[in-house]
Amino acid sequence: MKTDGAPSTSPPPPGLVANWETLQRIFIRPENEAARAVLLKYMEQILFGLHDFLKQHLGITQEASLKDLADRFTDSRIGEHPVRKLADVINGLIEEVAPHAVNVASPYFVGHMTSAIPFYMVHLATIVAALNQNPVKLETSKVVSVLERQVLAKIHRVVYGFDGGFYHRHIQKPESTLGGFVEDGTLANMTALWVARNTLLGAKPGFDGVEKEGMAAALAAHGILRCVVLVSRLGHYSLRKSAGVLGIGNRNVIPVPVDAGQRLDINALEETLRTLKRDEPGTRILAVVGVAGTTETGTVDPLEAMAGICEREKIHFHVDAAWGGPTLLSGTYRHLLKGIERADSATIDGHKQFYMPMSCGMVYFKNPTHMDAAAYHARYINRPGSVDLGIRSLVGSRAAASLVLGSALDIMGSRGYALLIDHGIELARSFAGEIMKRPLFQLVTPPCLNILTYRLLPEGTEADTETANRINKTVQRLQREAGRSFVSRTTLSLPETGETVVLRVVLMNPFTTIGILREILDEQETLYRREIAGRP
């Protein structure tokens, strides 16, 4: 991109004049064949030029230090005149930006929850932009709001599995809210805790509810000192952020220990509840959160047992299935999430295992009136009784991501998604076997879904976590910098080794094979021997 903008008094570059006529032209899709052909040519570049370019530049990203890149983007001035035409902007994005972006579609990119997406997703995203509907209100979306309700009902049914009559009643009933689209999983979790907070600290005689009166007044009115949220130590950081934002206080997200399988320890949960009841009569449990696919280890908490406890104690049970949710479409592995159907609310991300482009978070509620606890109206939209979807939503204006998801469900069928899910889980199991076969490596957390962690553990470092940590940090960094493949790293608190640096692999790309994973291990071995052990 431009690194030194023209001062605003300079003449416009040749051919780049902003005047009313050229401006108007860019708002119309042209009528004549020649102009249409040009616009289509641009799309061809975007669809295939980008792809071809990346194919020639194998690997995750081109070598360039962050410092070097940052130095190219230091001009903060907006030129008065246009700086480049669309054609040059597209070329620039393909030739200058793409090579230094991250090729998340590479089958060697197995470090994060972002992967290749089906090519048709790009077409669907284009339609969303071209229609440019805003589902906050019917007046800027009409049928799209109706269609969104259908998509929400379809996913709700996957999660909760109520009978046809239930969905027939609620699917298009303006007063019912089966769920909602928000930007991402963070906002979905925040929405769930927002609704749980407002329900727990609702109105009562002399008190208008926490949403109106605030947290301090709410605690006073309900005679309590603090609210807490209980979640496994491996819960996503968005839960702490949500508690901070919601005025609950992020220290009131209490981490519950995990068992050897990195799942919330159900005895520890019971013990925490007992202790709180006994020692802190002023403390109320706002929610218990089960994780269906923790970010770091991909493990699924014991949802059934947690649901039982929450039902017994009348506590809001939220399941963060941002990652694992689509596993429900797999006949083979659906059982791993058993118990989610008893959750009061659930988070699922579309841009993760629904393979949608960024960004699509979703939150679902078992009870279609639960979200009434967080309804807002205005005088020009979202009037009481209207069908505007913005009435019950943390966000206002947003893109119609439901068009993408709804279409993808039609194109893939549940079986299409099931094949992808099954591939990831089964590949993770094979990979775990491969790791266990190699003496240099230690499998740290075996896969529950399609995520696992492991580490290099050279002979003699077994009792020296500090050294092992340093080795794993270094190898991960060297591999990332080499740019051929990418695994991520995190730090787990483990009973035997304490704070332990591990390498983390997320397997969702259908082109990632056991062969590729072996190459990645080979590279790590080589990097270790060459750069650390100092022998070839």
Asked if residues 303 and 339 have their Cβ atoms less than 8 Å apart, the reply is yes
296 touches its own copies (CB under 8 A): yes
204 touches its own copies (CB under 8 A): no
Shortest distance, position 397 Cβ to its own copies, whole Å:
4
Closest CA to 363 of 375, 377, 346: 346
Cβ contacts of 376-382, under 8 Å, gap ≥ 24: 381/136, 381/137, 381/139, 382/136, 382/137
Among 182, 471, 520, 521, binds its own copies (CB under 8 A): 182
Please, how many CA atoms are within 13 Å of residue 221, restricted to the half-sphere of its CB? Answer: 19
Shortest distance, position 310 Cβ to its own copies, whole Å:
22
Interactions with its own copies, residue window 310-329 (CB under 8 A): 329
Interactions with its own copies, residue window 162-181 (CB under 8 A): 164, 167-168, 171-172
φ, ψ of residue 212 to 5 degrees: the values are -80, -45
Contact letters (x/-) for its own copies, 400-439, by CB under 8 A? x--x--xx-xxxxxxxx--xx--x----------------
Contact letters (x/-) for its own copies, 97-136, by CB under 8 A? xx-xxx-xx-----xx-x-xxxxxxxxxxxxxxxxxxx--
Closest CA to 426 of 455, 399, 406, 449: 449
Shortest distance, position 301 Cβ to its own copies, whole Å:
18
238 touches its own copies (CB under 8 A): yes
Among 106, 108, 156, 196, binds its own copies (CB under 8 A): 156
Q: Which stretch binds its own copies (CB under 8 A): 68-76, 265-273, 301-309, 465-473?
A: 68-76
Among 106, 186, 272, 472, binds its own copies (CB under 8 A): 186
Q: Is 214 or 498 the residue whose CB approaches its own copies more closely?
A: 214
Give residues with Cβ within 8 angstroms of 218, minimum separation 6. Answer: 201, 207, 209, 210
Q: How far is CA 442 from CA 152, 367, 417, 456, in A?
A: 42, 45, 31, 6
Q: Is 417 or 431 the residue whose CB approaches its own copies more closely?
A: 417
Interactions with its own copies, residue window 359-398 (CB under 8 A): 359, 361, 374, 376-382, 387, 394-398
Q: What is the dihedral of CA 230, 232, 238, 239, to 10 degrees?
A: 0
Among 196, 210, 289, 520, binds its own copies (CB under 8 A): 210
Q: Is 256 or 309 the residue whose CB approaches its own copies more closely?
A: 256
230 touches its own copies (CB under 8 A): no
Q: Is 138 or 425 the residue whose CB approaches its own copies more closely?
A: 138
Shortest distance, position 242 Cβ to its own copies, whole Å:
10
CA distance 94 to 45: 8
| Token pair for 251 | 């220290």
Q: Which stretch binds its own copies (CB under 8 A): 21-29, 334-342, 442-450, 512-520?
A: 21-29
157 touches its own copies (CB under 8 A): yes
482 touches its own copies (CB under 8 A): no
Among 212, 277, 338, 477, binds its own copies (CB under 8 A): 212
CA distance 419 to 437: 27
CA distance 285 to 256: 13
Q: Which stretch binds its own copies (CB under 8 A): 241-249, 258-266, 458-466, 519-527?
A: 241-249
220 touches its own copies (CB under 8 A): yes
Asked if residues 451 and 507 have their Cβ atoms less than 8 Å apart, the reply is yes
The H or E element that residue 179 is part of is strand 179-182
Among 27, 205, 385, 536, binds its own copies (CB under 8 A): 27
Q: What is the dihedral of CA 211, 214, 219, 222, to 10 degrees?
A: -40
Shortest distance, position 251 Cβ to its own copies, whole Å:
5
Count of residues of this chain found to bind its own copies when the rule CB under 8 A is applied: 186
Encode 481-499: b = buried (16+ Cβ within 10 Å), e = exposed. eebebbbbbeebebeebee
- Sign for the CA dihedral angle at 120, 125, 130, 134 comes to positive
Interactions with its own copies, residue window 245-274 (CB under 8 A): 245-252
Q: What residue ranges in 236-299 does DSSP mark as E strands?
A: 253-256, 283-291
CA distance 521 to 452: 14
The H or E element that residue 320 is part of is strand 316-320
Exposed / middle / buried, residue 438 (Cβ in 10 Å: 0-12, 13-18, 19+): middle
Among 214, 281, 433, 498, binds its own copies (CB under 8 A): 214
Shortest distance, position 210 Cβ to its own copies, whole Å:
7
489 touches its own copies (CB under 8 A): yes
